[in-house]
Amino acid sequence: MDSLSDLAGPRGRTRLWEPSWPVPVGAVMSQQRHGGSDPTYKVDFQGRHWRGLRTPEGEATLMVESQLRDGAVYAAAWGEGADWALESVPGLLGADDDPSGFVAHHQVIADVWRHHRDWRIGRSGLVMEALVPAIIEQKVTGQEAFAGFRNLVHRWGNRAPGPGHDLGVWVQPDPQTLRGIPSWEWLKLHIDPARSKAVVMAARVAHAIERTLTMAPDEADRALQSLPGIGRWTSAEVRQRAMGDPDAVSFGDYHVAKDIGWALTGAAFDDDELEQCLEPYRPHRGRVQHLVALAGLHRPRLGPRMAPRTHLPA
């Protein structure tokens, strides 16, 4: 394997972080990924994780890998936001997450937690980065959501700096660019007016949105839901990824309530039943959602897949 200094090259920055627990880098970082074709996230043949970021200090490519034999985490970054990206690595890998008060009230959760005791909820510290794809994923199939986000990034984003460029890693478009995309261009991306308008409205107040990072979880939730087109589901998806909120649950999702209900009781739940079931887990309700997904627990998919809508341009 190349040394980290060799990999970074003369224009890169490097960091060696020695966490106090064995971090499962892939399982934690993959919380930030939006589908297998996410253009801002790549995993190379050596198992290194690459992300294209728009940080407060500029664009960056971040590479993270773990050295399991000594438990260290190696990171390298390129671009104007390289220092910021490297500083974010511990939080991104769950250093700010405290699961000490978590109690499993169901045997299946206790079993999953026992097998994934080192897993943590990471936080990116980038709210708009989490919000834009979350809005695009609203009320559509996963196939349509991931395709819309991919189209947006490829059409209006930038190639990530440094080696990220050659690897095909991209950076999301900035708020100014999002504000200027014409309505007909959104349709070409296969993103309908309801979602595109919500993205544009959010881009107009991007600086205020980033300030939700400093708020308490309930306050951040209220602030996010005060934005046009942002509801309970979208707020939770953002708080999970950007803030590492362990209590954020994706209520309103087509699968989440059904899958958690099936995993815990053998019967699919609706949102009201899920909320009642998860109440004893406060302030770790979102951790239950993550653990169920981490273990791959979901109700059997017996019916045909929901087809993408056909009334938008291809």
* Residue-wise pLDDT tens digits, 154-171: 999 999 999 999 999 999
Residue closest to 288 by CA, chosen among 249, 241, 262, 254? 249
- Residue 66's pLDDT is what? 82
- Residue 67's pLDDT is what? 74
Cα–Cα distance list, 100 to 104, 173, 266, 284 (Å): 12, 38, 28, 10
- Residue 313's pLDDT is what? 52
Cα–Cα distance list, 183 to 178, 189, 200, 312 (Å): 11, 10, 10, 13
Does residue 141 carry a pLDDT above 80? Answer: no
Phi, psi at residue 59, to the nearest 5°? -70, 150
SS3 state at 12? coil
* Residue-wise pLDDT tens digits, 65-92: 987 678 899 999 999 999 999 999 999 9
Work out the mean pLDDT of the chain and round it to a whole number.
Answer: 92
Residues 77, 224: Cα–Cα separation, whole Å: 30
166 CB-near residues (< 8 Å, 6+ apart):
none
- Pull the structure tokens for residue 200: 């544009």
CATH superfamily for domain 127-161+170-243: Hypothetical protein; domain 2 (1.10.340.30)
Residues 51, 39: Cα–Cα separation, whole Å: 9
* Residue-wise pLDDT tens digits, 255-314: 999 999 999 999 999 999 999 999 999 999 999 999 999 999 888 865 554 455 544 554
Architecture in CATH for domain 6-105: 2-Layer Sandwich (3.30)
- Residue 68's pLDDT is what? 65
The type of residue at 101 is: G
Domain ranges of the chain: 6-105, 127-161+170-243
